[in-house]
Structure 1
Amino acid sequence: MASNETFLPIQQANRDVNQKHPVQGERRNRRALGDIGNLVPASTLNEIGKPQLQITRPITRTFRAQLVANAQAVDKNAKKPQEEASNADVAQKKHEETPRRKLKKPTKSLTSVLTARSKVACGITTRPKDPIINIDQSDINNELAEVEYVEDIYKFYKLTETEGGLRDYMNSQPDLNAKMRAILVDWLIEVHRKFELMPESLYLTVNIVDRYLSMRTVPRKELQLVGISAMLIACKYEEIWPPEVNDLIAISDNAYTREQILGMEKAVLGVLGWYLTVPTPYVFLVRYTKASVPSDVEMENMVFFLTELGLVHYSIVMGNSHSKLAASAVYAARCTLNKTPAWTGTLKYHTGYCEDELRNCAKSLVNFHACASETKLKAVYRKYVNPEKGAVALFPPARSLMVELGGGESS
């Protein structure tokens, strides 16, 4: 048996090694570790992949309640991220549906305030645009109003209002003058009122007279015959029951025979080429009065009163187109009735005329209004002094448009 001295060198060598590598030496001398409970068998994993609690003691009533509470806590923790995500979606949706708050208006600087005040002082303020009113809105279901085509119709009227052959003819009539024409038209207005004819008939009658006189020379003694024949033609064109020839003979105090009236009727139609569908001032008056919002019976009567005053005067008829005469009458009527503003954007849109273009003609109409009760030719005045016409002839004329009569026609 070997002695201890025999193993001393070996033990000494091991000690030297252990001093140099102490961990390795301990590992060599340490026994293998057993199960310390940190390894979980695969069978102990639950459905969500988490380790189940190892039950190493009897399940009491209290312990069972604790296990159930722990399981519910685990489920709540698993559902919490999903609930947070859904709550975030709901909050985002509410945020999108909630209207955004209006941004605070930036405060004006001192420079902008001073600039605005300077513009006001200089009279260069920018006024808001006058809105264009749809005057056909109330007639949208009225088939007779032709709402779809009415604007195109009136554009066509304005293009063709100068194609009727009407021109300045008084210099070519050696036997006639403007005063004689005024007397004839005044008498025709009186006849028109007594027969209770449509307004279209009166305007077409005057148009036929002027067109015929611009094409043919007429002696003074036949001027009234031309007027009677023109009214007969206009009534046959416009009226359902036109007056008979005998009625016209009677109202002209038997100045002409039946044959003379029918002969002049045929001559007038031949000269005019049977061209009777012309845009008279009446068609424009109807449209422009409607554009004078708000329009009422008083406004309509005043417009027709001023227009008929203009029809009597040769210079007004020849110096203005039919549409311009109608627009001027509407403008003068608004000034007479103190409508504000006197000329609106809606009227400018539908008439095509601005206020400055109408002022001269409107001034003449207002002056005729001021003198209507004093002139010898009072057919228009008597017609519109009647309460049935609103007695608009008694209204004071528009002071803003009144000028002294001078250089015009004397009636």
Structure 2
Amino acid sequence: MPAPRNAKTASNKLPWSGRAAAVDNAQAEKEENSQAKRSPSSPQGAPKKRSAFGDITNAHKSRQITGKKETAKAAPKRAPKGLAVLGVVKNNETNLRKPPSRIPLEPAQATEADCTAKKGPGEVVEESPSSELVAQEVLPIEDIDKALLADPYASAEYAKDIFAYMREREEKFVLPDYMENQPDITRDMRAILVDWMVEVQENFELTHETLYLAVKLLDHYLVKVTTMRDKLQLIGSTAILIASKFEERCPPCVDDFLYICDDAYKREELLAMEIGILRTLQFDINIPIAYRFLRRFAKCAHATMETLTLARFICELTLQEYDFVQERASRLAASCLLLALKMKNLSGWSPTLEHYSGYEAQELPPLVKRLNFLLTYRHDERLKAVRSKYSHRVFFEVAKMTPMDMLKLEEALQT
């Protein structure tokens, strides 16, 4: 049996900014390093195995004992370093609570013709009151890339073009309702598979971009290929392998995925599935994901790491929910951030956010309400990976935060 991949420590892996993520602030990369590369449930012995999805209904029973052991683990020692960086961030939530600056326009000088009314000869010239010019409020749009122009690694001069290109590409990857064409798999099976994929991302200490892209590859493959349930885990693990090769500097090897699947599949099957997925998708796997848009939008809002982590938690919960697969990545990211801002009692959708996201404030409330409903009511006991992950103090324990009341959220969205 091949040696587990957990021998590699977080200190050996440099933070990966990603392709489109290179335009984001290098400081944000350092802040999220403690989250992306060292998760609270990373293995101290070996990655957790799970057999193929023949026992899909009781997939979590074998993990109850190991789950208790993991909750007793101490937090990673490197976590305070990530938290200490928050003191450096000057544009924080305190700034968000301040009212926007008002820049009144200077009234134009009234001419003599405006101030007087000339009459005929011998008549008195009467002065008429000048018309009052109402000062207009001008909310300037901030250039969020200006501060990074001197950093050659940030590619700030290309940021707007890159994200505009991603917005165009996401229209090509809109997912249809494909579950009707899958006779042997269900929404619940897909949700359990994605829950397992989150565990793999933690165990192998992969970036969140890898997880989001792997779920996208899974969905786009299921759109085109009818699959049996006994091959579902093979597709999920292969999707992570492909996404790792695309996103990671040091991706896991094939033997690692065979091990994590409890040797339920052979090497030849995994390699054949990799070729099958790539050919089915025509090797076009640069799919826009919500995680990249979310980081960009949070930068526009000057959100702290705690607020951004709350938005990430909401966004990651949607990966398991089939009802959200048809949403565009940018709209989903914008709605998750807006809900997080409202939950933290911060300002709403600013002109800067509207400019860089492309969404106006009135376009987001319907999806924001659905996300809040997901937080409040829809909680499957079989799906524990995401909530357990974000309940750790490395992630500010955002999963323990009380969701907003629906009526209060309705009022907050109107302000």
Q: TM > 0.5 between the two?
A: yes
AA aligned to 1:286 is R
Q: What SS does the aligned partner of 1:214 have?
A: helix
Q: Are the aligned partners of 2:342 and 2:409 in contact in 1 as well (CA < 8 Å)?
A: no
Deviations 1:126-175 (A, max 9, x none): 97243212211321211122222211111111111122373321111111
Report how many aligned residue pairs link the two structures: 287
Offset, 1:282: 2.0
Deviations 1:323-364 (A, max 9, x none): 111111111111111112x21111111111112211121112
Offset, 1:370: 2.5
> Which among 227, 230, 235 is matched to residue 236 of structure 2?
227
Q: What is residue 306 of structure 2 aligned with on the other side?
A: 298
Separation in 2 of the partners of 1:174 and 1:130? 53
Q: What is residue 326 of structure 1 aligned with on the other side?
A: 333
> 1:110/1:331 Cα in 2 relative to 1: closer, same or farther (>3 Å)?
farther
Separation in 1 of the partners of 2:407 and 2:205? 32
The structure in which a higher percent of residues are helix is 1
> Which among 373, 376, 380 is matched to residue 370 of structure 1?
376
Q: What is residue 336 of structure 1 aligned with on the other side?
A: 343
Offset, 1:291: 1.0
Separation in 1 of the partners of 2:285 and 2:201? 19
- Please state if 1:264 is matched with 2:270: no
Deviations 1:289-316 (A, max 9, x none): 11112x2110221111010011111111
Q: What is residue 245 of structure 2 aligned with on the other side?
A: 236
> Which among 367, 377, 382 is matched to residue 388 of structure 2?
382
CA RMSD of aligned residues (A): 2.8
After TM superposition, the structure 1 = structure 2 runs for residues 176-325 of structure 1, keeping only pairs within 5 Å, are 176-293=185-302, 295-318=303-326, 320-325=327-332
Higher RCO, Cα 8 Å, sep 6+: 2
After TM superposition, the structure 1 = structure 2 runs for residues 4-19 of structure 1, keeping only pairs within 5 Å, are none
Instruction: Give me the TM-score of the superposition, normalised by structure 2.
Output: 0.64
Where does the alignment leave 5 or more consecutive residues of structure 2 unmatched?
A: 1-107, 116-127, 411-415
AA aligned to 2:288 is P
Q: What SS does the aligned partner of 1:152 have?
A: helix
Separation in 1 of the partners of 2:407 and 2:258? 42
Q: What SS does the aligned partner of 2:221 have?
A: helix
Q: What SS does the aligned partner of 1:273 have?
A: coil
Q: Percent identity?
A: 38
Separation in 2 of the partners of 1:299 and 1:179? 30
Separation in 2 of the partners of 1:127 and 1:346? 18
Offset, 1:258: 1.7
After TM superposition, the structure 1 = structure 2 runs for residues 63-102 of structure 1, keeping only pairs within 5 Å, are none
Of structures 1 and 2, the larger Rg is shown by: 1
Separation in 2 of the partners of 1:402 and 1:309? 22
Separation in 2 of the partners of 1:230 and 1:127? 53
Separation in 2 of the partners of 1:251 and 1:110? 82
Separation in 1 of the partners of 2:193 and 2:409? 27
- Please state if 1:353 is matched with 2:362: no
Q: What is residue 167 of structure 2 aligned with on the other side?
A: 158
Q: Are the aligned partners of 2:141 and 2:351 in contact in 1 as well (CA < 8 Å)?
A: yes
Offset, 1:402: 7.2
AA aligned to 2:337 is V
